[in-house]
Structure 1
């Protein structure tokens, strides 16, 4: 099968796209509204020797692609990609604070919440062969947000798409982070009407195939080392208390795997300004802010905005960008430009989809698309 084509939206610095590219997709168009994120995306592509997207980069707001001259230009790009005879898809995770329990919670009428509707409207307008939508669990579990989500799904079904979705934790793909996200996959009915032998899409699309970890086996009290007093630079080893599978989900494993102390972003961290850096116990992540990570546990959700601060397990400082990238399971060679501000570094890292989750999702989508060609 020829490489499926992807048009990427809300691309950030490219974590989700990298997973899809490494699973055999061609990212042909990249749209990111925030200039520092788009510049970082371009930087990381160049440093990893990936080709410039065939249909280029765009800093437009996604609303621009719905109407007028920009809308016509965008539709022409999609039509040109379709003329190749390959399957063309959209991928995107609209900004999610309006649906997040810990965020603004304004829902579909919030400034960011409206972008989900816009993304769905763009799919309906330009009819890609398939699409992927990613968002926070609040859209799935909060009653009024779920009503909006279901209405968006109904709009897509009316436009000729078959849908399947799953609430997935990044740990299931082997990323060292407790992060729940909705993944929604849709494909035009014409591509599967004679391919599934009567099966439902939810059955034929094998969500479990590329999962690596059973959540029940690793989640819960008593399965991981507890808190202990913070002693700066203490190298106590708790790894004998956990299984090999748990070690591979631990922060220390990923710090070692990515050689974070020698990573290009090793020194990109905020300087300590509080005594809290020396008194919070290792593994005390009970509060919204000033969570001290435990070296032999996985991380809470990598969310570094809204005053949420994650502290290094055994150093009196916040974690570095290199360490945050490791928690997001990025390859060791992935790094952000040195001239990027710390605030933008941590925002783009926290906004991104963990790489292993992106790669596992992409492998699942690719396996299914092969059945349709």
Structure 2
């Protein structure tokens, strides 16, 4: 009898967890059944529905409003795994780092509300790396305590870098995995660690449905794009600048392993924060040799330089061309696609973690 993985995706965005689970289940002859999802951003929801069949699923919407009535939670279909990248702005290095003093940080407790009533077997959550150090470690300890004492789960966590899993983007995120306490002996070790996951997925020898790239030149960046993606002559000096009197930076372009995508990349900050590429680099017969050349800024600014396209940004997170096309056809603008790519969880990282958990029998159906 074919096994089924029933899951619920909270703070779903464009469905990074769902995409990874769907691909893993497809590769391993398991039925993937998403029973419900939650997302408040209408454009992310539009992209989500353009790419997944959600007709028979519960659309939770605003999780605070939904969980304010226990009856809503009780009426959810049963599920094995709860997943989600709970809002990170409250803990991010880029934000004000208010943590649980921020309303967005408080959304974490809505997860606990659902776990306390539905009691699924497993939980897989994601957040920014800085959450481990936020408020001198108190925020991280509170997350562990809530999952353990309030919800009844054994918890393990580690930091994972997207670039370790076939996507050329430096993106370090904390993943938490929790198992309901009655399912495992307290003396048994529940360990989710980066090195073990890397070793586990390396044994697959690429035999998965994942899209993988060695670097941005490995069938990821396009050689020709529309003119609108190129920086204007007026903007280039600002983007390439190493900063000003009060802000110093090392603004480099043509990174083989992209910098972390951000939800605000559409605003085009500087080449020390976002990703830009020159035609000279993209079309050079030996790009690695080109990178060894020390090009003065006053010379580099004369080059034709462009930003990422929305498709390239989505590919850097593990989504494919059809995903982008479906969203665009549904009316999602490039502006929103950039934001969605920056907010997304990396598909390959989640897939690799799911593979490891099944391989180690930490998830059993």
Flag whether TM exceeds 0.5 (same fold). yes
TM-score, normalized by length of structure 2? 0.74
Distance in 2, matches of 1:318 and 1:170, equals: 20
Q: Which residue pairs with 2:4 in the alignment?
A: 3
CA contact (8 A) 1:176 1:329 kept: no
Q: CA deviation at 1:293?
A: 3.8
Q: CA deviation at 1:123?
A: 2.0
Distance in 1, matches of 2:14 and 2:313, equals: 14
TM-score, normalized by length of structure 1? 0.73
Aligned-partner SS, 2:9:
strand
Q: Which residue pairs with 1:52 in the alignment?
A: 54
Distance in 1, matches of 2:226 and 2:72, equals: 42
Structure 1: segments with no counterpart, 5+ residues? 46-50, 83-87, 214-246
CA contact (8 A) 1:291 1:311 kept: no
CA contact (8 A) 2:230 2:305 kept: no
Distance in 1, matches of 2:184 and 2:158, equals: 20
Residue 253 of structure 1 pairs with residue 218 of structure 2: yes
Q: Could you report, residue by residue, the CA deviation over 1:172-209 in whole angstroms, capped at 9, with x for unpaired residues?
A: 2121111110100111122223xx9x531128995444
Q: Could you report, residue by residue, the CA deviation over 1:207-241 in whole angstroms, capped at 9, with x for unpaired residues?
A: 4444559xxxxxxxxxxxxxxxxxxxxxxxxxxxx
Q: Indicate the RMSD between aligned Cα atoms, in angstroms.
A: 3.4
Q: Which residue pairs with 1:313 in the alignment?
A: 277
Distance in 2, matches of 1:340 and 1:371, equals: 36
Q: CA deviation at 1:330?
A: 2.1
Q: Which residue pairs with 2:72 in the alignment?
A: 73
Q: CA deviation at 1:368?
A: 4.2
Matches within 5 A, 1:197-212: 198-202=187-191, 207-212=197-202
Q: Which residue pairs with 1:27 in the alignment?
A: 34
Q: Which residue pairs with 1:217 in the alignment?
A: none
Q: Which one of 143, 155, 161 corresponds to residue 152 of structure 1?
A: 143
Q: Which residue pairs with 1:123 in the alignment?
A: 115
Aligned-partner SS, 1:42:
helix
Q: CA deviation at 1:143?
A: 4.1
Q: Which residue pairs with 1:346 in the alignment?
A: 338
Query: Which region of structure 1 is more displaced relative to structure 2, 273-282 or 324-333?
Result: 273-282
Q: CA deviation at 1:14?
A: 1.3
- Report how many aligned residue pairs link the two structures: 313
Q: CA deviation at 1:53?
A: 6.0
Q: CA deviation at 1:20?
A: 1.2
Structure 2: segments with no counterpart, 5+ residues? 26-31, 204-211, 279-303
Query: Which region of structure 1 is more displaced relative to structure 2, 298-307 or 361-370?
Result: 361-370
Q: Could you report, residue by residue, the CA deviation over 1:38-74 in whole angstroms, capped at 9, with x for unpaired residues?
A: 01111122xxxxx43642333x211123232xx4133
Instruction: Rate the CA distance shift 1:204–1:274 in 2: closer, same or farther, 3 A.
Output: closer
Distance in 1, matches of 2:192 and 2:124, equals: 17
